[in-house]
Amino acid sequence: MPITFTGLVSIVANSWKGAKAAHNWATDAPLRHDFEQYLAALEHRRVLYAAWEYENIHAVLTSLSEILDRTRDFRATHNKNPEVRELLGSFITVLQSESNTIHGCNMHTTQGEFMAYKALLKIRSKMAQVLAVLCGLLHVDPRGTELEQFIMNMALVRPKA
């Protein structure tokens, strides 16, 4: 029985889908591995979990700077992936902006402390939202870690400007 045009197109399309799925799987494996390492590094960052009254502002700024550097490195490594580039780019913008806000706060006044706390909440919220999306995209489950609770709790918080 001779092959029809529709049959040939169907075979080519199915081959393309299979090749594309294999390519996506192969190219996502390094991204997923790097994302899991990124999550592991964040797991022990107390700035994400500690109550405000236990925070030292200099330690907070140092930790946020280190998170910013690690995030930039992760984004640069996977800059060809548009989702990663966009998600991490928006997080980097918030992280830089709110870190500058915290740096400029007068921690000797109640208003300054409140502004710094509000800025930290924005960072935490944006980070949790980005991590939640990336976990979904890359099929990574941070189950059984403090990071899982952080993502679940903070992704829903939406502090106002």
Would residue 122 count as lying in a domain?
yes
Would residue 82 count as lying in a domain?
yes
- 3-state SS track over 21-61: HHHHHHHHHHHHHHHHHHHHHHHCCHHHCCCHHHCCHHHHH
Among residues 91, 56, 94, which one has the least CA distance to residue 74?
Answer: 91
- The DSSP output letter for 152 is H
> CA angle, 63 as apex, 60 and 64 as ends, to 5°?
85
pLDDT in tens, 15-41: 555 545 544 544 578 899 999 999 989
Would residue 95 count as lying in a domain?
yes
Would residue 159 count as lying in a domain?
no
Would residue 126 count as lying in a domain?
yes
Would residue 135 count as lying in a domain?
yes
The more confidently predicted of residues 26 and 126 is: 126
Backbone angles phi, psi at 158, to 5 degrees: -130, 80
User: Domain count of the chain?
Assistant: 1
pTM greater than the 0.75 cutoff? yes
Name residue, tokens 């192969």. Answer: 26
Would residue 20 count as lying in a domain?
no
Query: What token pair was written down for 145?
Result: 């870690």
Say if residue 66's pLDDT is above 90. Answer: yes
Handedness of CA 110, 50, 83, 78 (dihedral sign): positive
pLDDT in tens, 99-113: 999 999 898 899 999
Domain coverage including residue 133: 28-154
